[in-house]
Amino acid sequence: METKAFNMPLLGDDFPTLEVQTTHGPMSIPGDLKGSWFVLFSHPGDFTPVCTTEFVAFQNRIEQFNELNAKLIGMSVDQVYSHINWVNWIQEKLGVEITFPIVAANDDIAHRLGMLHPGKGSNTVRAVFIGDPQGKVRLVLYYPQEIGRNMDEIVRALRALQVSDAQGAVPADWPNNELIGDRVIVPPAKDVVTAKQRLEDYEGYAWWFVHKPLEK
């Protein structure tokens, strides 16, 4: 029996063009999202406890994603009617209305995104893809089925990507780094003259480790 290759988009790649059916109707990804950042996340299955907690957590942070000009899209290989029944259950039982679309992926889509993990059966893994307004893959996270995601980290990573694009790299645990707080790291000098000037122009520890205030 032939085994399909396990593929996934890599950082910097164009996000694969997907024509999908969602709980909000047909959608072309990333075409319909052009001009916005997006967070596409897969879940193993509807009507499962960990996934339910994740959907509620994503929805509870929807305003934070909106403020970052980012669209949320859920995805699993469950059919649309299952997604609809599940979000209706979440609203009825937990009082949370899921306002973002959920994709009904088929096996081909799941394989193209590397969401069907070898040895894990037909359930999709917990993948997170962050794409930018040009449809480029900027961040990929993979979690095992047994561990729910940290939504605050996804919001943080999205904001960090936007800051780094505009201002420079950000440190560990940004914006609460132990050494430089929410400051932004200045790119390393590429010549001797610039290296000598770095500590005169910026605060830092060495010519290759200088930083500047975050522009709000």
Which of the residues are catalytic? 51
Q: How far is CA 115 from CA 86, 121, 140, 147, 193, in A?
A: 21, 11, 11, 15, 48
For CA atoms 114, 120, 122, 125, give the dihedral sign.
negative
Please state, in angstroms and rounded to a whole number, the distance separating the CA atoms of residues 16 and 8.
9
Q: How far is CA 159 from CA 12, 65, 170, 185, in A?
A: 17, 9, 10, 15
65 close to 99: Cβ distance less than 8 angstroms: no
Please state, in angstroms and rounded to a whole number, the distance separating the CA atoms of residues 163 and 156.
10
Please state, in angstroms and rounded to a whole number, the distance separating the CA atoms of residues 127 and 114.
8
Angle between helices 49-60 and 151-166 (to 10 degrees): 40
